[in-house]
Structure 1
Amino acid sequence: MTEVAWEQAATLIDLDGKAPLIANIRECARHFAALKPQHQQAARVLLTHPVAREGRKTRTWLLEPEEIAALAAKLREG
């Protein structure tokens, strides 16, 4: 995945239908990190600007749980 700007507006959505969090990527990653594992697996981040993906011809607007977890890990590392 291409780098995503921390200040990019995004929406953390829950596939179980809970209210979304509309914030920047940094806040979405922080909120994701606080979720229980079963809720993390149902979470996605909808981006305002699509990102390029290795092995794909098109860019995508959605971050999967593994990608959000990687962003949360970067926040923890500083």
Structure 2
Amino acid sequence: MSTTNFFKSKNDNEIVALFNREVGSTAWVSARGNYLGELRKEFIRRAIDFTIVSNYSGGFNLNKKVRLVDKVLVFI
């Protein structure tokens, strides 16, 4: 199953849980970068406002966990 299909098979809260699973990890490999890029695309596809965790370079700020409130990510 491709990453895109994997994300499409999840509901919004499951997608947020996948993001939260990455919070605090300092490991970095290209596969993780690709995974996070696909996760970002999925937030966009679902019209989830992830501004609070978006950084200036087009990636994610992975310092704090979030929850979903009315299609907007907010810090827990």
Provide the TM-score with structure 2 as the length reference.
0.32
Higher share of residues assigned strand: 1
Higher share of residues assigned helix: 2
Provide the TM-score with structure 1 as the length reference.
0.32
